[in-house]
């Protein structure tokens, strides 16, 4: 039977395949992903693909169609069922597999879904995803055959491995907000065996996300957790996104710690065992993070935003730890190098349970800066990278200190500002950080002037915060 399939262009993203269920993503797309990805695994000499799914309402049907596509390409499928994305990654590393596909909409609205892939334990992204789309359209697949499906619950093995690296001294009181995401059942098993007292909010997996949107980078989504941490007198609050590959933290006083803040805590700990090691963070991170890594004896490396890009750079540099502002935390120290919010939680709780002071005292002791949250400006897809190039060129002509690791990051006496094109949306992303209120105003004015010079009119209202 001949095969060909055209994906909507909008669904083939930089790091995954993603779309609106019933509009730009459906079971035919899932089958096609299985058919082509199975072909790629076969061409690489592989035979077995692990498959997992999150708790979205559309995930069971998409997973079933994906598995049909994989088996039609002769793959033997290891179906690990519903759970967090990192559990599927764990299966990829600990079971005899040649590839892995996770059906997940991550932190997107409930009507979205998508697919994250690994080939031979490496991220499958960028040109590989575009090639998958081109192969589907051309019908370039192996002849149809019949593979097998084995269902295996690996949640107990995963939880046991998470617990292995708990290294706290004192017991903690912890509030967890699962956000009705895919980690729910695994989290229940984890807290039952983890020392201390644990309160779980929104533990039930529910693809409607009735309590709040499962994205811990948005302060509004942490309001319930903050309230519970204060009410319980907890040491820390932990939040996950929809598929638990990103983590958010709240200290014992209810203050939010951002990704570049809790990464300092993790880095200081890891550097005790790995003095001088490279610690990677993305370009959106505070200068405070890079300075604190250096102060702790590490080698800070600023790298491109994007979990697949960070993972690839970690493998290249053999960095024991990396992180993003978005809450993706990657441990290559004792772990496998993939982003796992549950594992990051176990490790950071261990750090907190070994330090003398509270998490709030740690946060308050950090150098204080003023910064904007992540600012997003609509920009046509065909213009977004050009605008960044135009800005970089003008700045260099004026002799500015510019880093072009990922977009444009400009250092001045007042601090720094960043402008980069999103890899997943038709938007430009910006951020600024200053040491004084007046300095932050000047940085935002400089950024606005550059955007205006490229024909954009940004709105900076309600865009400053301290951390």
Mean pLDDT by 10 residues, the chain (467 residues): 90 93 98 98 98 98 98 98 98 98 94 96 95 98 97 98 97 97 98 98 97 94 98 98 97 96 98 98 96 98 93 95 96 97 98 96 96 89 94 92 94 96 87 96 95 85 50
Fold of 370-466: TATA-Binding Protein (3.30.310)
257-276 burial, b at 16+ Cβ within 10 Å, e below that, comes to: bbbbbbbbbbbbbbbeebee
How many helices (H) and strands (E) would you count in the chain?
14, 23
**Gyration radius from the chain CA atoms:** 22
CA-based nearest residue to 182, from 202, 159, 199: 202
Fold of 157-365: Alpha-D-Glucose-1,6-Bisphosphate; Chain A, domain 3 (3.40.120)
- Sign of the torsion formed by the C-alpha atoms of 122, 127, 130 and 132: negative
The residue written with tokens 């006496």 in the block is: 413
How high is the pLDDT of residue 208?
95
- Rounded to two decimals, the pTM is 0.95
How high is the pLDDT of residue 462?
45
User: Whats the size of the chain, residue-wise?
Assistant: 467
pLDDT digits (tens, 9 = 90+) for 44-63: 999 999 999 999 999 999 99
CA-based nearest residue to 236, from 367, 363, 83: 363
- Could you state, in order of their start, the residue ranges of all structural domains in the chain? 9-153, 157-365, 370-466
Q: Which two tokens stand for residue 31?
A: 């089958």
CA-based nearest residue to 341, from 211, 120, 184: 184
309-333 burial, b at 16+ Cβ within 10 Å, e below that, comes to: bbbbbbeebebbbbbbbbbbbbbbb
- CATH of the domain spanning 9-153, picked from 3.40.50.1980, 3.40.120.10, 3.10.290.10, 3.40.33.10: 3.40.120.10
How high is the pLDDT of residue 381?
87
How high is the pLDDT of residue 1?
65
Distance (Å, whole) CA 40 – CA 28? 18
Q: Which two tokens stand for residue 201?
A: 């909010």
Tell me if residue 66 falls in helix, strand or coil: helix
- Sign of the torsion formed by the C-alpha atoms of 208, 211, 215 and 220: positive
pLDDT digits (tens, 9 = 90+) for 58-114: 999 999 999 999 999 999 999 999 999 999 999 999 999 999 999 999 988 999 999
Q: Can 157-365 and 370-466 be said to share one CATH topology?
A: no
How high is the pLDDT of residue 464?
47
Tell me if residue 76 falls in helix, strand or coil: strand
Torsion of CA 119, 151, 181, 173, to 10 degrees: -100
CA-based nearest residue to 31, from 65, 1, 4: 65
Catalytic positions, written as ranges: 106
| 432 φ, ψ (degrees, to nearest 5) | -140, 150
How high is the pLDDT of residue 451?
94
């Amino acid at each position: 039977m001949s095969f060909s399939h055209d994906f909507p262009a909008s669904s083939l993203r930089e790091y995954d395949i993603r779309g609106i269920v019933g509009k730009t993503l459906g079971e035919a797309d899932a089958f096609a992903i299985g058919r082509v990805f199975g072909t790629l695994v076969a061409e690489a000499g592989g035979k077995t693909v692990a498959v997992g799914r999150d708790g979205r309402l559309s995930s069971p049907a998409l997973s079933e169609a994906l598995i049909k596509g994989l088996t039609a390409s002769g793959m033997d499928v290891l179906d690990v069922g519903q759970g967090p994305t990192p559990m599927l990654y764990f299966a990829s590393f600990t079971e005899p597999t040649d590839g892995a596909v996770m059906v997940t909409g991550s932190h997107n609205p409930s009507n979205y879904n998508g697919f994250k892939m690994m080939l031979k334990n490496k991220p499958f992204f960028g040109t590989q995803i575009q090639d998958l789309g081109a192969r589907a359209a051309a019908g370039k697949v192996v002849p149809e055959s019949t593979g097998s499906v084995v269902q295996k619950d690996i949640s107990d093995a995963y939880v046991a491995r998470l617990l292995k690296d708990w290294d706290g001294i004192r017991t903690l009181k912890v509030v967890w907000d699962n956000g009705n995401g895919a980690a729910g059942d695994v989290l229940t098993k984890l807290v039952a065996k983890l020392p201390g007292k644990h309160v779980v909010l929104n533990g039930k997996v529910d693809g409607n996300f009735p309590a709040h949107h499962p994205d811990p980078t948005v302060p509004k989504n942490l309001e319930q957790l903050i309230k519970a941490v204060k009410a319980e007198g907890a040491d820390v609050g932990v939040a996950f996104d929809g598929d638990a590959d990103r983590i958010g933290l709240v200290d014992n006083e209810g203050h939010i710690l951002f990704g570049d803040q809790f990464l300092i805590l993790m880095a200081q700990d890891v550097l005790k065992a790995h003095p001088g090691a490279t610690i990677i963070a993305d370009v959106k991170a505070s200068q405070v993070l890079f300075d604190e890594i250096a102060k702790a004896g590490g080698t800070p490396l600023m790298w491109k935003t994007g979990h697949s890009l960070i993972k690839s750079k970690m493998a290249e540099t053999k960095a024991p730890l990396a992180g993003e502002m978005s809450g993706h935390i990657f441990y290559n120290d004792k772990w496998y190098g993939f982003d796992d919010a549950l594992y990051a939680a176990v490790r950071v709780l261990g750090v907190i349970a070994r330090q003398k002071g509270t998490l709030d005292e740690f946060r308050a002791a950090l150098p204080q800066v003023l910064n904007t949250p992540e600012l997003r400006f609509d920009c046509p897809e065909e213009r977004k990278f050009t605008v960044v190039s135009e800005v970089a060129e003008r700045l260099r002509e004026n002799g500015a200190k510019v880093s072009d690791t990922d977009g444009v990051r400009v250092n001045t006496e007042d601090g720094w500002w960043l402008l980069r094109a999103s890899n997943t949306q038709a938007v430009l992303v910006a951020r600024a950080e200053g040491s004084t209120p007046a300095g932050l105003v000047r940085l935002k004015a400089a950024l606005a002037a550059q955007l205006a010079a490229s024909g954009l009119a940004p709105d900076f209202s309600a865009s400053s915060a301290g951390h």
